[in-house]
Amino acid sequence: MARFRLWSVLLAAMALAIYFGLGVGESWINPFSPSSDLDHIVLWELRWPRVLVALAVGGLLALAGAWFQVLLGNPLAEPYVLGVAGSAACGAIASLALLPGSPMAMPIGAFAGAVVGISVIMAFAHLGASRLLLAGVVLAAFWSACLALMLALMPGHRLGMALSWMMGDLSTSFISIYGLSAVWCAALVAGLALSRSLDVLMLGEMHARAMGVEVGQLRMKVLLLASLVTAVAVTAAGTIGFVGLVVPHAMRLVFGGLHRVLLPASAVGGGTLLVLADAGSRVVIAPAELPVGVITAMIGVPVFLWLLLKRT
Q: Where along the sequence are the contacts to another protein (CB under 8 A)?
A: 69-70, 73-75, 196, 199-200, 202-204, 206-207, 209-214, 252-253, 256-258, 311
- Choice between 126 and 207, CB closer to another protein: 207
- Choice between 107 and 248, CB closer to another protein: 248
Q: Contact 83/121 with Cβ under 8 angstroms?
A: yes
The nearest distance, CB 216 to another protein, in angstroms, is 10
301 contact partners, CB below 8 Å, separation of at least 6: 242
The nearest distance, CB 310 to another protein, in angstroms, is 12
- Choice between 64 and 94, CB closer to another protein: 64
CA distances (Å), 16 to each of 23, 64, 92, 131, 260, in order? 10, 24, 34, 42, 25
The nearest distance, CB 268 to another protein, in angstroms, is 20
Give the separation between CA 65 and CA 293, rounded to whole angstroms.
Answer: 16
Helix (H) or strand (E) holding 115: helix 105-122
The nearest distance, CB 248 to another protein, in angstroms, is 10
Give the separation between CA 125 and CA 225, rounded to whole angstroms.
Answer: 13
Give the separation between CA 73 and CA 52, rounded to whole angstroms.
Answer: 31
- Choice between 158 and 196, CB closer to another protein: 196
Ramachandran region of residue 25, left (φ > 0), alpha (ψ -120 to 50) or beta? left
Give the separation between CA 154 and CA 127, rounded to whole angstroms.
Answer: 37
The nearest distance, CB 219 to another protein, in angstroms, is 14
- Choice between 70 and 118, CB closer to another protein: 70
- Choice between 153 and 206, CB closer to another protein: 206
The nearest distance, CB 11 to another protein, in angstroms, is 23
